[in-house]
Structure 1
């Protein structure tokens, strides 16, 4: 059996996690706003930025589901060591899920795989952390989105690479599922090597 390798987490956990958490709050309250987060080291192919999100958001009370791409010995060991998080096998029971775009391409209906919350507790809907190749706060060759809704004065434009058609259809409500279930729903955090952007369930998305 291969012994897992322990990597560095936040140098000053309380201070660094508070900084990262404030960045996440800004991004979630101002959808389409890019913010930066980082941690000293990556874990295998889990970016240091994605690891920073995990350290700021996860603890013993936030069950996490890992897609096959991130389901490695090193990632599981380090996430549990640094956060105490419980990694579970049933995606519907997760408060957070960690995925890459290729994983999402296999989900024809996201709401069948991840909890949207309940009428009594809509805030328990799953937050999907999706690691992508690049995020930009302007238009580019792919993944161009126009965002409106709470926290956005008029409209914001972002481009997020690698997003599969099934996810774009869900975000833009092509299936009708996203808007129909509100206030239940899924929240998204997209992260590349250095930046993240949040698309909460309240944000209206138009694919350009």
Structure 2
């Protein structure tokens, strides 16, 4: 694939990536609250705009990434290499960022690096693309950044996800952080967020 065939990234790389970064911080500081996240006009399928925006904003040559089988296509790999130069790894536990285009391919939260006691910030951050951030089974979230509780009902998560998240939160300050996306917005799930399934 020639460089001129690779889809464009942000139209204004500096401004757009800074805007995306601020939106990601807002999503993490207000867990469970959807935050609008415009993406590049032409992301390679099956990568949606918000997922592409997060990858372009967070990934660089010092930030190794892992792609699930749904995203591990030549077009997506070349797009990410061209625009971020991030190393693409086969081992999810060695990645700083994991991009998941199909929740059915999610290997389990324990398959990623939870950080370690001296450096809990070295855990893997997961970006999980879903069909929608609404319309699924409702859960209640509590914890830092949430005044009392808030509800979230993302569509397309595997049945084991919320019990696994409960275990992940119990490991705090270790554990993974997650961004959930659809085609318009992003929701932050920092590892400090507790989940109750009604």
Query: Shorter-chain TM-score: what band?
Result: over 0.9
Q: 2:141 aligns with which of 135, 143, 147?
A: 147
Partner of 2:171: 181
**What is the root-mean-square deviation in Å for CA atoms of aligned residues?**
1.4
**For structure 1, which segment, 32-41 or 58-67, has the greater mean C-alpha deviation from structure 2 after superposition?**
32-41
Instruction: Work out whether 1:35 is the aligned partner of 2:29.
Output: no
* Distance of 2:139 and 2:132 partners within structure 1: 14
Q: CA deviation at 1:122?
A: 0.1
* 5+ residue gaps, structure 1: none
Instruction: Work out whether 1:125 is the aligned partner of 2:123.
Output: yes
The answer on whether the counterparts of 1:143 and 1:163 sit within 8 Å (CA) in structure 2 is: no
Count of aligned residue pairs for this structure pair: 195
- TM-score, normalization by structure 2: 0.93
Residue by residue, what CA displacement relative to the aligned partner does 1:145-192 show, whole Å, maximum 9, x if unpaired?
211000011111111001101212212x2xxx3244221001110000
Q: 2:112 aligns with which of 92, 111, 114?
A: 114
The answer on whether the counterparts of 2:31 and 2:187 sit within 8 Å (CA) in structure 1 is: yes
Q: Provide the secondary structure at the position in 1 that maps to 2:28.
A: helix
Residue by residue, what CA displacement relative to the aligned partner does 1:62-111 show, whole Å, maximum 9, x if unpaired?
1100011100000000011111211111111001101121112xx3x521
Partner of 1:200: 190
Q: Provide the secondary structure at the position in 2 that maps to 1:165.
A: coil
Q: CA deviation at 1:57?
A: 1.0
Which portions of structure 1, spanning 4 or more consecutive aligned residues, are displaced by more than 6 angstroms? Answer: none
* Distance of 1:143 and 1:129 partners within structure 2: 20
> Structure 1's 180 and 150: CA in aligned 2 closer, same or farther, altered over 3 A?
closer
Partner of 2:25: 25
* Distance of 1:64 and 1:128 partners within structure 2: 10
The answer on whether the counterparts of 1:143 and 1:162 sit within 8 Å (CA) in structure 2 is: no
* 5+ residue gaps, structure 2: none
- TM-score, normalization by structure 1: 0.89
Q: CA deviation at 1:3?
A: 6.0
Q: CA deviation at 1:40?
A: 1.2
